[in-house]
């Protein structure tokens, strides 16, 4: 099984206890153990959740519960988020599970922490949540009914990951998401400060910058350099003012 246990499943705002139980079961069937629930609306330990988890109650009971997606991803190196929608504000290509799995598996085997992020039953993930992803994955479906049951979507991803031949990455380990998000927060303030864009267009600009930097898979050293650049830019502006 290798190190597929380095792959974390994150459910954002899950609404049905049964889906939490079925997710735990699907995970354990394919060697995944680490479940995080971000601001769950459903009780993960409800009778219904336990019933659907069957022999995977251990996965259910050890699930981490956090308030924000950033907390669930802070120590993760590589994020793949899922969407039923074929189109939204995302500027990159959307991968199928089969395309993404060998690369995700390769990263997990290299000891990187990988997260698979799933959305709410009724509304999926917001664009802001999808913006945290290095890859966005969509399960191909019949065109007139694209939305799968949440736990069944988890099952398909877990299965593809289980079968995938790991594709080893040449890239060194990227900085953790917590570090990267710190840089994005700095960059956002800086873009406004230098008049690169205005408040209204900022989300669009940030979406494109995020895409560039996610593709670059920045190492901690590269990230430190970029943060230095922003800091120095701010210092130069301050100096110009005084």
Backbone angles phi, psi at 119, to 5 degrees: -105, -175
Least distance (Å) between residue 136 CB and ligand SAH: 9
Least distance (Å) between residue 32 CB and ligand SAH: 15
Residues engaged in binding ligand SAH (CB under 6 A): 82-85, 118-119, 121, 123-125, 138-139, 141, 146-148, 150, 153
Least distance (Å) between residue 120 CB and ligand SAH: 6
Q: Is 41 or 198 the residue whose CB approaches ligand SAH more closely?
A: 41
| CA 116 – CA 202 distance, rounded (Å) | 27
Strand partners of residue 116: 9, 80
Maximum alpha-carbon separation in the chain: 67
Least distance (Å) between residue 27 CB and ligand SAH: 14
| CA 182 – CA 226 distance, rounded (Å) | 11
Q: Is 123 or 242 the residue whose CB approaches ligand SAH more closely?
A: 123
Q: Is 68 or 141 the residue whose CB approaches ligand SAH more closely?
A: 141
Closest by CA to 27, choosing from 122, 133, 118, is: 118
Q: Is 4 or 100 the residue whose CB approaches ligand SAH more closely?
A: 100
Q: Is 52 or 183 the residue whose CB approaches ligand SAH more closely?
A: 52
In the chain the beta strands, taken as DSSP E runs, fall at 7-12, 34-38, 64-66, 78-82, 94-95, 114-118, 135-137
Which residues are within 8 A (CB) of 26 and not within 5 positions of it... i.e. 6 or more apart?
Answer: 151, 152, 154, 155, 158
Least distance (Å) between residue 21 CB and ligand SAH: 15
| CA 151 – CA 128 distance, rounded (Å) | 22
| CA angle at 106 for the pair 90 and 114, rounded to the nearest 5° | 55
Least distance (Å) between residue 150 CB and ligand SAH: 4
Q: Is 62 or 141 the residue whose CB approaches ligand SAH more closely?
A: 141
């Amino acid at each position: 099984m290798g190190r597929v246990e380095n792959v974390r499943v994150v459910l954002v705002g899950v609404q049905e206890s049964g889906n939490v139980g079925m997710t735990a079961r699907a995970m354990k069937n394919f060697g995944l153990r680490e479940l995080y629930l971000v601001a769950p609306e459903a009780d993960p330990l409800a009778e219904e959740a336990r019933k659907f988890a069957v022999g995977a109650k251990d996965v259910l009971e050890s699930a981490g519960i956090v308030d924000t997606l950033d907390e669930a991803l802070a120590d993760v190196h590589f994020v793949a988020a899922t969407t039923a929608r074929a189109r939204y504000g995302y500027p990159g290509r959307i991968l199928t599970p089969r395309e993404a799995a060998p690369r995700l598996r390769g990263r997990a085997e290299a000891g990187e922490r990988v997260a698979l992020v799933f959305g709410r039953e009724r509304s999926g993930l917001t664009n802001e949540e999808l913006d945290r992803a290095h890859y966005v994955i969509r399960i191909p479906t019949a065109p007139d009914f694209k939305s799968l049951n949440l736990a069944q979507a988890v099952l398909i991803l877990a299965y593809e990951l289980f079968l995938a031949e790991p594709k080893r990455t040449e890239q060194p380990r990227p900085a953790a998401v917590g570090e990267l998000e710190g840089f994005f927060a700095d960059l956002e303030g800086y873009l406004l400060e230098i008049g690169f864009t205005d408040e209204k267009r900022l989300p669009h600009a940030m979406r494109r910058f995020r895409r560039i930097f996610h593709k670059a898979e920045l190492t901690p050293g590269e990230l430190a350099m970029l943060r230095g650049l922003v800091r120095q830019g701010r210092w130069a502006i301050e100096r110009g003012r005084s």
